[in-house]
Amino acid sequence: MEPSNDTQISEFLLLGLSEALELQPLIFGLFLSMYLITVLGNLLIILAVSSDSHLHMPMYFFLCNLSLVDICFTSTTIPKMLLNIHTQSRVITYEGCITQMYFFMLFAVLDDFILTVMAYDRFVAICHPLHYTVIMNPQLCGLLVLVSWVISVLNSLLQSLMALVLPFCSDLEIPHFFCELNQVVQLACSDTFLNNMAMYFSAGLLGGGPLIGILYTYSKIMSSLCRIPSAQGKYKAFSTCASHLSAVSLFYGTSLGVYFSSAATHSSHSSATASVMYTVVTPMLNPFIYSLRNKDIKRALERFLGR
């Protein structure tokens, strides 16, 4: 079929993870289970922290925001995927695709920023413990989260508006289970140089920038830990960072793994399968990471569930 410009398109086709009909019930059950675990786990974290006055401090305030973002992040893609499998349809409307793309980028970048803010919180707690309550005051905590939201919203808005004006060809199949910006831009019939430049610049600035910030804060944290004389003191200080470090490693490890695997294989379906790790598995595991390694969260959950 000859490609042709069609600016009045009404829908895209999401090819999903597999086209094999016999695998669809398995995929549906697996993703439904992971989605329910993600929502329930993160919701329990939010309710437990909110109900326990002892946890009303910056560290857990940021954790609640991370849990909320993780719920929204998975809710952007998984329900539509489950609906398509249930109805045996691959269709997503043009408006729905752009909307999904917008919110996916928003919460992905916001997740990144919240992890960076949490790293800064741990940096202040370990490197400047005597000034922690003064530096990490409620106004600064609220401002950090607000700035993270504003930057994420503006970036998503810019990227979505640039994709919105693209004319698309007759081939509107997206080899993914959601509308990813890169996949959508590749379907355009016009020159996408500016879109690609905007994507790479955004990935470098909003992805690489926070990562550099996190690495810098942990280098300072490790330097401070080395100056603590007792091994018990070092362990106690580092234990407050262990959960966050695990979450950061999981988020960036899976994200970079998807990027390098897709670049090496040049397979869209392989990229879609690999992206499950950071879009579904990471948000699902975060509540376990923070609850299993944190006695305060465990006690708060026990008190909340004991009610």
pLDDT above 80: residue 156:
yes
pLDDT above 90: residue 217:
yes
Residue 166 and residue 188 in contact, taking contact as beta carbons nearer than 8 Å? yes
Q: Give me the pLDDT at residue 5, please.
A: 43
Q: Rounded distance, CA 74 to CA 279, Å? A: 6
Q: Which of 59-63, 228-232, 276-280 has the lowest mean pLDDT?
A: 228-232
Q: Give me the pLDDT at residue 266, please.
A: 52
pLDDT above 60: residue 6:
no
pLDDT above 70: residue 197:
yes
Q: What is the pLDDT of residues 79-125, one digit of tens each?
A: 999 999 999 999 999 999 999 999 999 999 999 999 999 999 999 99
Q: How confident is the model at residue 274 (pLDDT cuts 50, 70, 90)?
A: confident
Residue 293 and residue 243 in contact, taking contact as beta carbons nearer than 8 Å? yes
pLDDT above 70: residue 200:
yes
Orientation angle between helical segments 58-87 and 282-292, nearest 10 degrees: 140
Q: Which of 2-16, 20-34, 44-58, 202-216 has the lowest mean pLDDT?
A: 2-16
Q: Give me the pLDDT at residue 54, please.
A: 86
Confirm whether pTM is higher than 0.75.
Answer: yes
| Class of the domain covering 11-306 | mainly alpha
Q: Taking the alpha carbons of 99, 86, 188, 95 in that order, is the dihedral positive or negative?
A: negative
Q: Rounded distance, CA 8 to CA 41, Å? A: 42
**Strand order from edge to edge, sheet including 11-14:** 91-93, 11-14, 173-174
Q: Give me the pLDDT at residue 260, please.
A: 64
Q: Rounded distance, CA 161 to CA 156, Å? A: 8
Q: Which of 103-117, 197-211, 249-263, 271-285 has the lowest mean pLDDT?
A: 249-263
Q: Give me the pLDDT at residue 228, please.
A: 80
Average pLDDT over residues 157-164: 94
pLDDT above 50: residue 272:
yes
Q: Give me the pLDDT at residue 4, please.
A: 43
Q: What is the pLDDT of residues 237-261, one digit of tens each?
A: 778 788 888 889 888 887 877 666 6
Q: Give me the pLDDT at residue 268, please.
A: 62
Q: What is the pLDDT of residues 28-67, one digit of tens each?
A: 999 999 999 999 999 999 999 999 888 899 999 999 999 9
Of 100, 92, 94, 106, which Cα lies nearest the Cα of 158? 106
pLDDT, the chain, mean: 88
Of 86, 28, 38, which Cα lies nearest the Cα of 66? 38
Average pLDDT over residues 134-159: 96
pLDDT above 80: residue 202:
yes
